[in-house]
A and B are shown apart, each in its own frame.
Chain A
Amino acid sequence: NAGVMQNPRHLVRRRGQEARLRCSPMKGHSHVYWYRQLPEEGLKFMVYLQKENIIDESGMPKERFSAEFPKEGPSILRIQQVVRGDSAAYFCASSPDVGYGYTFGSGTRLTVV
């Protein structure tokens, strides 16, 4: 079991471009969570998805950010028209069901230049 796979590990985008971050959950896990880590602030919840459904997006910025978890393939966190303040580490975690522990991926470091 390869664990939670995130790619790319590092992503550099110019202001105004789009960033796509991918997360493949562990085998058998149908729940995916996205977090953002800003320097010295710890992990901030963004969105919780199950297959084809967004369950809780209370932590997502209202504009430019979106997430999906299609029936087939990885979960995608999409950031349109990136700005410097989007620079952060983005983590994905998966779990098999509610109430079970999470397994975290190694994160994607987004740098906006």
Chain B
Amino acid sequence: EDKVVQSPLSLVVHEGDTVTLNCSYEVTNFRSLLWYKQEKKAPTFLFMLTSSGIEKKSGRLSSILDKKELFSILNITATQTGDSAVYLCAVEAVYTGNQFYFGTGTSLTVIP
């Protein structure tokens, strides 16, 4: 059964801390892994990863994929209160069409 598991489920840190969020997956016919920041109504797209070992970076956020060990990490450095959100990981698989499998998310709270 295809699945995506995120850890930890929740995390509370102080401003300025660095956090690492984990996403492991068991998905056949893997195509890509996506990270979203979920706030209010609509998740915000962060990264799409398709190749192992290539870090993607956007400001204080970065992410990398390991297709051998079947996981990805999302790093946030120098956290700010605006980083407080649920971070979702999703894996895209290719069957007759494309299927997406979502993790349940990691809830991050950044305390001033």
Residue pair A111, B97 in contact (C-beta under 8 Å)? yes
Binds A, one of B15-23, B66-74, B101-109: B101-109
- Decide if B100 is an interface residue (CB 8 Å cutoff): yes
Rounded to whole Å, the gap between the CB of A58 and the closest CB of chain B is 9
Chain A residues with CB under 8 A of B97: 9-10, 109, 111
- Cross-chain contact of A101 among B36, B44, B100, B105 (Cβ < 8 A): B105
- We find that the number of chain A residues with CB closer than 8 angstroms to chain B is 24
Chain A residues with CB under 8 A of B98: 89, 109
Q: Would you list which residues of chain A between 32 and 69 have a CB under 8 Å from chain B? A: 33, 35, 37, 40-45, 48, 56, 59
- Decide if B86 is an interface residue (CB 8 Å cutoff): yes
CA distance A14 to B54 in the complex (A): 40
Residue pair A35, B100 in contact (C-beta under 8 Å)? no
CA distance A104 to B105 in the complex (A): 10
User: Assuming A101-B105, A101-B107, is B42 touching A45 (CB within 8 A)?
Assistant: yes
Residue pair B102, A44 in contact (C-beta under 8 Å)? no
Residue pair B86, A9 in contact (C-beta under 8 Å)? no
CA distance A48 to B105 in the complex (A): 20
- Cross-chain contact of A9 among B90, B99, B104 (Cβ < 8 A): B99
CA distance A102 to B86 in the complex (A): 9
- Cross-chain contact of A41 among B45, B86, B104 (Cβ < 8 A): B45
Residue pair B102, A43 in contact (C-beta under 8 Å)? no
Rounded to whole Å, the gap between the CB of A106 and the closest CB of chain B is 6
User: Assuming A101-B86, A101-B107, A103-B104, is B42 touching A43 (CB within 8 A)?
Assistant: yes
Chain A residues with CB under 8 A of B41: 33, 45, 48, 56, 59
Rounded to whole Å, the gap between the CB of A56 and the closest CB of chain B is 7
User: Assuming A101-B86, A101-B107, A102-B38, is B99 touching A42 (CB within 8 A)?
Assistant: no
Nearest 5 A/B pairs, CB to CB: A42-B45, A45-B42, A109-B97, A104-B102, A45-B41
